[in-house]
Amino acid sequence: MFWRWGSRSRRATELADARAEAQRWYERLGGQLMNLHGDAPAVRQALADAGERYNAAGSQLEQARTPHQFALARETALEGLAYIRAARTAMGIDPGPELPPLAAARGAGMLTKEREVNVQGQTYRAGPQPGNQTPYYYPGGNWQGRPVPAGWYSTPWWKTALGTGAGVLGGILIADALFSPAFAGPGYGYEAGYQEGLNDGQDQGGDFGDQGGGDQGGGDQGGGDYAGDFSGGGGGGDYAGGGDFGGDFGGGDFGGGDFGGGGDW
């Protein structure tokens, strides 16, 4: 009898903790959205994407009934905060403390070089910094089973469901051109980090779909990987002009290295 009571109490505590953690990030995202404004295309787009994540996280919080569901809401809010950092970067202000990588971004790394490719008569650009020609930020993730690095892009070709005009096949061709040595120009090769991420995606065989919003998919995001209060990353700290951005993206810059896990992009 005592064991049953202890088990129920432990589950109730875990649920309450997961709810509080998700709510904390959700409120911080909302605070940032209320206090940031900008006219540059990259700023507007990043804030719009952050707003989508805020709405999605709010819906997930309302429906969540388990620690796992609250963890998914938390992940969505964290992704929104990644877009907030991107917006602040595009505004030319301090993006704030470093954030721990999203679960969806593991192995994806980040762009370190500008690149431009032509696919089916269309020009696509990508690079590590925002600009008028690259106003779309992507926080890193998997698309159609392949890693896509964090960075700024000329068009959101990964959002096939939103009708970007690329289509799934076109998106695959764009990804090949941007990230595969066989298609890209000299100096754009990849090393072990990206290849490991690509192999992992192929081994899983999954279509991870659009990582840009809402439910981050199957895995349990709860537990140790996302523990914490910005310890060891960028320190506590508040973002000027918006809620405390302390938080849970701690540690490293998308897995260290130039392109996640050591790959050079």
pLDDT in tens, 164-191: 455 667 788 888 888 876 544 444 433 3
Concatenating the DSSP letter of every residue in 215-230 gives ---SS---SGGG-SSS
Report the candidate in 255, 158, 172 with the shortest Cα–Cα distance to residue 212: 158
pTM: 0.68
Q: Which residues contact 169 (CB under 8 A, 6 or more apart)?
A: none
Phi and psi at residue 42, to the nearest 5°: -65, -35
Q: 2-102: what fold?
A: Substrate Binding Domain Of Dnak; Chain:A; Domain 2 (1.20.1270)
Q: How confident is the model at residue 83 (pLDDT cuts 50, 70, 90)?
A: very high
Distance separating alpha carbons of residues 141 and 148, to the nearest angstrom? 5
Count of alpha carbons within 13 angstroms of residue 8, beta-carbon side: 5
The pLDDT value recorded for residue 168 is 66
Residue 192 has pLDDT above 70, yes or no: no
Residue 132 has pLDDT above 70, yes or no: yes
